[in-house]
Structure 1
């Protein structure tokens, strides 16, 4: 897709996931690990590409074998890597996890001394592509350090507050020097985006609200057009100025819950681009997340659109109960 207008431009984290091949085992007792690419933004990029979208990623890797592996894997998944460059002297990020289903998946992220993607700067941002993309997806983690923070704001300035400018609140305390620093960086970003998405912890960081309805209302008060609050085992709530939609959870046997939200994000990109009704978009994205939760890895677990459609057809009795009021 070199030179073509991307459907989706994603900016943010990339890492190498080294995940145990067995569940219910402490990290010190894991006998073997699987290797795949990860990081929230990277997973969203792969997920969107699996839905047939033309996706470009803006990130940086270490100048090492893991960094080269990451670029090769992105290309294998069909993600445009023209704007992925290595950072000399900073190793690629390695992420380990433990798997204690259904809801305990501790992460151990090795950044020395920080992540290469924190060195994303203005020269790494193709402003014309960001402005022209049907979806521009960024994460709050990208605001945690300079020069990445300034690069994100430059991208938003170039794009303007046009539809489908998405901020994934993606709050991970380990990347910040306290909650106040995160809030101070993220709140100005809300003034540049039209879609905001996060769970209770992330909404509390961004707008001081954990209650789903109040959190969504607070996000809308910043000028966001679509606020999505992920509620884990209670499903998803979305609000616009004139809609309130709840989509219930889909019961599955959880293997690894870490990539479900990113699968949701990639599927959301498709629904936004296709112009689907909001309820259909949320049900489709929810199903994509449920599928990934049943698989061991993250990026390699992302389903195609056909897989999601088949999953929904098989569970139509469960997923047909989105409620609007």
Structure 2
């Protein structure tokens, strides 16, 4: 394959789509005069969040992935949702194989059962081997408690992190909603951050083009690319992706 003209800080691969919402709340869809379109939570929005922090970011699609660019990227970001159907599943696995262990590969566990409804692997026990295959290629795993439980069979945060490390990653991050985020590195380094009140953090806020999860992801990439210590990276990303008031622990 011909070499790409540019190497990127971040390349993501995932579904892309637009969610439509009525401009007026409480009005049935049939009576809605206007809709607002916004991209749903996805790795594309992680790329947007990283780009807002000055990082060169692109999104690749399942139909034409550039494997050279994927291998050359400093961070490659894949998601559990990207595994839920074809051709995204095969493209993601092929891209991981082409990348090998080059750079940092982040696996956003992102377990959404509704996305797997038409898959032969719609049951967590059936989908878990697919997750295990990706974890063998990934260097970083991040997910909320539901996703971590699906991937590891455990819901206790420390046990989840240890299981993800045993599956092959070097850094595991377990998001617990308002209880914060636990990060455990293979070298024994750990960090745990509980988000502060809105308006007190120094990370970039989520906005109309990124939600809290995606702002967390983009900021996590920024910290990893900056070579920050784990505690600083986690605090920065948690500040960006702090949960809304009253959000539960997953």
Q: TM-score range by the shorter chain?
A: 0.7 to 0.9
Return the offset for 1:33: 3.7
- Residue equivalent to 1:42: 44
Q: Which runs of 5+ in 2 are unaligned?
A: 117-121, 200-205, 246-250
What CA distance in whole angstroms lies between the structure 2 residues aligned with 1:134 and 1:267?
A: 15
- Pair 1:191 & 2:143 matched: no
Return the offset for 1:264: 0.2
Change (3 A) 1:223 1:27: farther
- Residue equivalent to 2:17: 15
Q: Please list the CA deviations of residues 24-78 of structure 1 after superposition, one character each: whole Å capped at 9, or x if unmatched.
A: x47658775422223411111111111111111012xxxxxxxxxxxxxxxxxxx
Return the offset for 1:175: 1.4
SS of the residue aligned with 2:138?
A: coil
Q: From 224, 230, 233, give the equivalent of 1:272.
A: 224
Return the offset for 1:133: 0.4
Q: From 189, 209, 218, give the equivalent of 1:243.
A: 189
Q: Please list the CA deviations of residues 100-143 of structure 1 after superposition, one character each: whole Å capped at 9, or x if unmatched.
A: xxxxxxxxxxxxxxxxxxxx24xx11111111100000101111
- Residue equivalent to 1:51: 53
- Residue equivalent to 1:145: 85
- Residue equivalent to 1:69: none
Pairing 1:55-204 to 2, within 5 Å after superposition:
55-59=57-61, 120-121=62-63, 124-176=64-116, 177-204=122-149
What CA distance in whole angstroms lies between the structure 2 residues aligned with 1:205 and 1:267?
A: 25
What CA distance in whole angstroms lies between the structure 2 residues aligned with 1:289 and 1:22?
A: 26
Q: TM-score, normalised by structure 1?
A: 0.65
**8 Å contact from structure 2 (residues 72, 102) kept in 1:** no
Change (3 A) 1:26 1:234: farther
Q: From 211, 235, 238, give the equivalent of 1:283.
A: 235
**8 Å contact from structure 2 (residues 41, 211) kept in 1:** no
- Residue equivalent to 2:248: none
After TM superposition, the structure 1 stretch with the greater mean CA deviation from structure 2, 154-163 or 229-238, is 154-163
Q: TM-score, normalised by structure 2?
A: 0.83
**8 Å contact from structure 1 (residues 13, 39) kept in 2:** no
Aligned length: 228
SS of the residue aligned with 1:290?
A: coil
Q: Which runs of 5+ in 1 are unaligned?
A: 60-119, 295-325
Return the offset for 1:163: 3.9
